[in-house]
Chains A and B, each alone.
Chain A
Amino acid sequence: MRRTSYSGLCPVNFAEYEGKPVSVLMDQSVPTFVLRELAKHPRCEEGGKYLGFIESDRESTRIVVTDFLPGGPNAKRTQVEFLPDGDFQEQLFRQAERVDSRVEHLGSWHSHHCNGLQTFSEGDVAGYLKTVNKPQYRPDFFLASLVTRMPSTLAETDWLHHFLFTRGGDCFYALHHQLNYINSPTTFGEITGHTPGHRVGFGPAGRDDGGTSSLKPDLGERLPQKNASGLWYESEIGRQILADDRIFFLQAFGAEVRATRTGGRIKLAGACIDGSAIVITYPAAIDDDFVEIVLKSARNRAVSISCCISEREVALKGALCMQGLL
């Protein structure tokens, strides 16, 4: 979400587009990859730059999106703003060009799932119009997608919305059923980190093909080839969470932090000055996403808090608040 003085525009139905016929196609795995990126930063805006190909002849144009460049490690992410790591994306795009010189940057997606805004901001629209009209932007179209909420299952619809900006146009178009999901798997997975894994089918225009897969196993299979064991702590998301929480514990407890592993579960424990301790126990398997936090006093009184792993920071802070009660 970017703020500018741009006056703002509402999208026009793509049925009213009067230019040369254009088809917008997207590989059916792309929404799954989007969800995986969102899972890394559930409380911040996230985004990526679409990769794919343009097939054009005298009569029509086909835009085929097969993948996207992730936001990057140095992207600026807040609850109301996403600014990609441009250097990182540029580097990946050059690698993609070496794999297939036909590759094009076809647009981008970003999310408002964390702030509830259901539309592009005025700054978003102004930015997309500016990009599609830049001489150095090669295609005549720019596909912009907006995630408005985090679905609880992949079968849900209306969380990923697509819009088309055209060079020279003074408006932009909402693609409702006009964006079709196809089977055109990415050839840039080694570069983008998007391994197809278990492909979850999406029907036309974001509608499911009858599948009702939960997000939980999907998020857990993010790196299936590297984590064949199925152990949570060996998954990429597990490693990231453990790294984040180690920092949290070090800030809260200083040197009094201990990590152990029992029965495939990692435990992180911090000791308080008053003799009480806080222990968080992480999931054992990648398809589990609950944690248990135990606050234990020096007098052996104990309270446990169970919650979804994404809410663990609130639970940890709640446990810290309750120290005096025990």
Chain B
Amino acid sequence: MHARFVVIDRTRELDHHSVVTKFWNCVSELYVLDRQRLPAESQATSSTGSIFVAQYEVFLS
């Protein structure tokens, strides 16, 4: 079972590293808080083409 979040910077003006870090830290923290356990495995990827897309996958078991 995994949760997937796809994040897109629509206006292409953001500091992508900050977005990745902020969102990922938040998601990781929420899973710990909400589910009382750490994700077994986590993965964050991003591309820096014409549009920024970061995909986060949280593997829950």
Interface of B (DSSP majority class):
mixed
Q: For the complex, what is the distance from the CA of A319 to the CA of B18, rounded to whole Å?
A: 13
Check A302 against B5 for contact (C-beta < 8 Å). Answer: no
Q: Does B44 contact A (CB under 8 A)?
A: no
Complex interface: chain B residues within 8 A of A306 (CB): 5-6, 8
Check B5 against A315 for contact (C-beta < 8 Å). Answer: yes
* Known contacts A318-B26, A321-B23, A322-B23; A304 and B14 CB within 8 A of each other: no
Q: For the complex, what is the distance from the CA of A116 to the CA of B4, rounded to whole Å?
A: 20
CB contact between B35 and one of A79, A150, A294 (< 8 Å): that residue: A79
Chain B proximity of A294: nearest CB distance (Å): 8
Complex interface: chain A residues within 8 A of B22 (CB): 321-322, 325
Interface string of A285-311 (1 = CB under 8 A from B): 000000000100000111111111011
Q: What's the tally of chain A residues with a CB closer than 8 Å to chain B? A: 27
Q: For the complex, what is the distance from the CA of A307 to the CA of B8, rounded to whole Å?
A: 12
Q: What's the tally of chain B residues with a CB closer than 8 Å to chain A? A: 26
Check B3 against A318 for contact (C-beta < 8 Å). Answer: no
CB contact between B14 and one of A305, A311, A315, A326 (< 8 Å): that residue: A326
Q: For the complex, what is the distance from the CA of A140 to the CA of B36, rounded to whole Å?
A: 39
Interface of A (DSSP majority class):
mixed
Chain A proximity of B19: nearest CB distance (Å): 6
CB contact between B11 and one of A152, A301, A318, A321 (< 8 Å): that residue: A301
Check A300 against B5 for contact (C-beta < 8 Å). Answer: no
Q: For the complex, what is the distance from the CA of A314 to the CA of B34, rounded to whole Å?
A: 9
Interface string of B26-61 (1 = CB under 8 A from A): 110011001110000000000000000000000001
Complex interface: chain A residues within 8 A of B61 (CB): 116, 149
Check A318 against B30 for contact (C-beta < 8 Å). Answer: yes
Check A303 against B30 for contact (C-beta < 8 Å). Answer: no
Complex interface: chain A residues within 8 A of B10 (CB): 294, 302-304
* Known contacts A318-B23, A318-B30, A325-B15; A303 and B9 CB within 8 A of each other: yes
Q: For the complex, what is the distance from the CA of A35 to the CA of B19, rounded to whole Å?
A: 36
Check B3 against A311 for contact (C-beta < 8 Å). Answer: yes
Q: Does A43 contact B (CB under 8 A)?
A: yes
Q: For the complex, what is the distance from the CA of A184 to the CA of B11, rounded to whole Å?
A: 57
Known: A304-B10, A307-B6. 11 other contacts (CB 8 A): A79-B35, A116-B61, A150-B1, A152-B1, A303-B8, A305-B7, A306-B8, A308-B3, A311-B4, A313-B34, A314-B27
